[in-house]
A = this chain, B = another copy of it.
Amino acid sequence: MQMKPRVLLYPCPVALVTCVDEKGAPNIITLAWVGVASSEPPILSIGIRPSRHSFNLISKTKEFVVNIPTAEILEQTDFCGMTSGREVDKFSKTGLTPLEASNVKPPLIKECPVNMECILRQVIELGTHHLFLGEIVSVHIDSEILDEKGNIDYAKANAICYMPEEYWSSGKKIGSYGLAKPEVDLR
């Protein structure tokens, strides 16, 4: 059936994006409008509404960190998307732990096993959201989610999948990239 134009993309990643104001006070915003824009240089896109506090912070300080939460901190993750840093100190209220980043001022979130430090390269005005393109300048991974080869064990990463407007757990591995045999006819 045909429907009115709307975004119906799933699953979307969930990111806890950290940023700071000009005095260094940190904030956290939960975003699902996040994607990979380029592999090299590594660039992420994040869509943010101009009304959001973090929109102003990132516009001014031009730095942010994309932290990937686990399902264990689902409630804190949802909370950071439902409240404004203008009114609430989200680190204090959620109990999430800020850690110093390597190359940028916004903190990493300790409870997130992957943290990507980004420098803002470009902002594209689109409509309800502006698209911020951030180049990843440093990456941190919690060694607890790595397997013996040093790759991420996604069972341990325990990611949240955003299926608008629901949160889902990740299921099971069903294959690896390159599983198809191009010489075999699939029909």
* A residues apposed to B, CB below 8 Å: 1-13, 15, 32-45, 47, 66, 68, 71, 74-76, 78-79, 81-83, 88, 92-95, 102, 114, 116, 122, 124, 126-129, 131, 133, 135-143, 152, 154, 157, 159-161, 163-180, 182, 185-187
10 further A-B pairs in the complex, CB-CB below 8 A; given A8-B152, A35-B35? A2-B138, A5-B137, A7-B44, A8-B114, A9-B13, A11-B11, A45-B131, A74-B174, A74-B175, A93-B186
State whether A166 touches B172 (Cβ < 8 A).
no
Q: Give A173 Cβ to nearest chain B Cβ, in Å.
A: 5
Residues from chain B with a CB closer than 8 A to the CB of A163 are 152, 154, 157, 159, 170, 173
Q: Give A41 Cβ to nearest chain B Cβ, in Å.
A: 5
Given contacts A43-B127, A136-B6, contact A34 B35 (CB under 8 A): yes
Q: How many copies does the complex hold?
A: 2
Residues from chain B with a CB closer than 8 A to the CB of A173 are 163, 166-168
Give the contacting residue for A6; candidates B42, B78, B142; CB below 8 A: B42
Given contacts A36-B9, A168-B170, A186-B95, contact A133 B126 (CB under 8 A): yes
